[in-house]
Structure 1
Amino acid sequence: MFYALSFVIGFLLPFQTGLNSRVKNVVTSAFLASLVSFFIGLSLLCVLLLLNGYSINFMAWNYENARFWHFFGGFLGVFGISAAILLFAKLGAILPIVLLVLGQIVSSVIIDIYGLLDMQIKNYNAFNFLGFFLVFIGCSVVICFKDKNFKLSFNPALWLLGILVGVAFSVQACINTNLSNHLFSSLKAAFISFGIAFSVLCFIAIFVLRNFKNLLKITLSKEPFYIYFGGIFGALYVYAITIITPIIGVANASVWSLFGMIVGGIIIDMVGLFGVLQKSINKEQILGFILLFVGVWMLKFTF
């Protein structure tokens, strides 16, 4: 069940990106689009807290056993978003995703093997490692063959940054999981992470970019209201991943969500959702998808 849940939340992420891209067209800023997304997600988490009988007065929660680094999840989320904006501008839409996948898989395996960040140690065998390798190759093939004009441009600093974005997302999942253990609630942990990220983005928009007024364009836009709901998918992802990670491990949670993300992206391309140019899946992508599926299947086996 938890593998399927990882797949579903990963499947929803490309739809979040598609909706946020529509918001970006309205507010003319990727940062402000992220701000809107986090606000919607934070609002959803407030509602879920109230429905579950929790107080939304986070200052009254018990943080006695929490350590300072348990509150860094929101900062890592903002770093990932900010770095992704830069990478997509410098490297295009394809290479950053491949680098993110590489960073996420490698870092999540290391965290599992050594039990870093207070995570439970997971044992992997040669069969599993082969599965991880096939997952990366499959993801790379599927993503790279989305654009027949894709060209590889090597920039050590930007490549390292792309890998670090993947590492940040793996570490963020672990930090939020730890925070949820200390607060005895995944909802509270997700709320804290989103709240910190939202506060940081507000600071950037007001004092650094100084384009906060562009949000007023939302009131004049004729776009349908649902384009602002991308944050719902983001909130559900952060909430669910804190539940899933300690049960199936960081690496499995990352890989299964990546699997869902790739499938969701392919469907968006094939149907032509969110204004994306409709594309049919080619034979190279089918091969990559098969490798990806086989790799994910191999991760379930322990000897």
Structure 2
Amino acid sequence: MLMFMLMALIAGFLLSNQSPINTDLSRIVNSPFIAGSISFVVGTLFLGILALTMSGRLTPSIGFIQTQPMWIWLGGVLGVIYLTSNILLFPKIGAIQTTILPILGQIVMGSIIDWLGWFGTAKVAMTPWRLTGIMVLVVGVLVAVVLPNSRNRDIRQFDSAVTHNQRTAVAGWQIWGVIVGVFAAMQQAINGHLGALLNSTSQAAFISFFIGTILIIIVALLIDRRLPTIRELKTTQPWNWLGGLLGSSFLFVTVVAVPQIGTGLTIMMGLIGQIIGSILIQQFGWWRSIKQQMVPAQVLGIVLMLVGVGLIKMI
């Protein structure tokens, strides 16, 4: 079990690097949706090669498709909703809420999925230890993410500007931010169950990413109505293409980990890895991101999250 928890932690750390990489790529191609499409295409190619190597095929049989419920194929759809919503939420509710609300939605929904055994997952009893651990972990997230950002004058000013004089609209976007997190938790549970049904984690990951790739390309074409130019692509650095590899690797690990340690714990370990990675990225300015020194609150938040996970495992 510890091995799968560590895998989810490392996968979350890797995923934290995807955002600044894709942000730099979106600057080059002048569109976050085109950058997302490029990332998805790269990830799909990687998972396709992985699936062919590990299982010898990309798609399931017709018989399998006909006998499964429609929701089993929703992983890729929910992934695209999560990606595009984060892009839309940022200018509507600001940086802090765009970060924290989906995280809270993921933690709550992941815990509910495990508790009720939804999407083919094994039921996990909601013991007092587990509930306490979840609450401690949420406090840790708030301390690590909200407290440092709320003390950053530039972030406070930006968030105040985007939410000023539009309270009703902001409330709607805030609710959607939580729902987006719920979708992300559902995606991991669905993909994990698909992998178990197919008896192939690589094939399940490929199918989810492939569906997401088709959808994000459609979204990009509808919004930007163009493809990236050769001139734009020539100005990229080799590391600008790593976003898709990191995102697809994270998806593959969650497909592996969810059947072993549950949706909730997979999400929580992945989130800890993402927060640790984000702090290090800001500390050292990786991927041309803006440097921001680590503060004691971030360290305290990570410690609280780890304590929360420890309490959750006391069952």
TM-score range, shorter-chain basis? over 0.9
Do the aligned partners of 1:186 and 1:242 also contact (CA within 8 Å) in 2? yes
Equivalent of 1:277, from 290, 303, 308? 290
SS of the counterpart of 1:145?
helix
Moved more, 166-175 or 120-129: 120-129
Alpha-carbon deviations, 1:264-291, whole Å to 9, x = none? 0111111111222222222222332222
Unaligned runs of 5+ in 2: none
Q: Return the letter of the residue paired with 2:293.
A: S
Shift of 1:57: 5.6
**Structure 1 residues 53 and 90 mapped into 2: Cα distance closer, same or farther (>3 Å)?**
same
The aligned counterpart of 1:134 is 136
Give yes or no for the alignment of 1:234 onto 2:247. Answer: yes
Do the aligned partners of 2:196 and 2:259 also contact (CA within 8 Å) in 1? no
Do the aligned partners of 1:131 and 1:299 also contact (CA within 8 Å) in 2? yes
The aligned counterpart of 2:91 is 89
Cα distance between partner residues in 1 of 2:229 and 2:6: 37
Q: Return the letter of the residue paired with 2:244.
A: G
Do the aligned partners of 2:148 and 2:297 also contact (CA within 8 Å) in 1? no
Cα distance between partner residues in 1 of 2:55 and 2:212: 24
The RMSD of aligned alpha carbons is 1.8
Alpha-carbon deviations, 1:170-210, whole Å to 9, x = none? 1001111222222221111111111111111122222x124
Cα distance between partner residues in 2 of 1:98 and 1:283: 19
**Structure 1 residues 270 and 113 mapped into 2: Cα distance closer, same or farther (>3 Å)?**
same
The aligned counterpart of 1:108 is 110
Do the aligned partners of 2:60 and 2:198 also contact (CA within 8 Å) in 1? no
Do the aligned partners of 1:73 and 1:173 also contact (CA within 8 Å) in 2? yes
Cα distance between partner residues in 2 of 1:73 and 1:57: 15
Q: How many residues align structurally?
A: 300
Cα distance between partner residues in 2 of 1:68 and 1:40: 26
Aligned runs of 1:1-303 on 2, under 5 Å? 1-56=3-58, 62-147=64-149, 148=151, 149=153, 150=156, 155-206=170-221, 208-221=222-235, 223-302=236-315
Q: TM-score, normalised by structure 2?
A: 0.89
Cα distance between partner residues in 2 of 1:217 and 1:77: 29
Q: TM-score, normalised by structure 1?
A: 0.93
Do the aligned partners of 2:79 and 2:184 also contact (CA within 8 Å) in 1? yes
Do the aligned partners of 1:66 and 1:182 also contact (CA within 8 Å) in 2? no
Moved more, 56-65 or 149-158: 56-65
Cα distance between partner residues in 2 of 1:50 and 1:61: 20
Cα distance between partner residues in 1 of 2:128 and 2:86: 32
Percent identity between matched residues is: 28
Shift of 1:87: 0.7
SS of the counterpart of 1:138?
helix
Shift of 1:26: 1.0
Cα distance between partner residues in 1 of 2:264 and 2:233: 42
Shift of 1:56: 3.4
Do the aligned partners of 2:193 and 2:259 also contact (CA within 8 Å) in 1? no
Moved more, 101-110 or 176-185: 176-185
SS of the counterpart of 1:214?
coil
Cα distance between partner residues in 2 of 1:166 and 1:247: 22
Query: Which structure is higher in helix share?
Result: 2
Unaligned runs of 5+ in 1: none
Shift of 1:53: 4.6
SS of the counterpart of 1:93?
helix
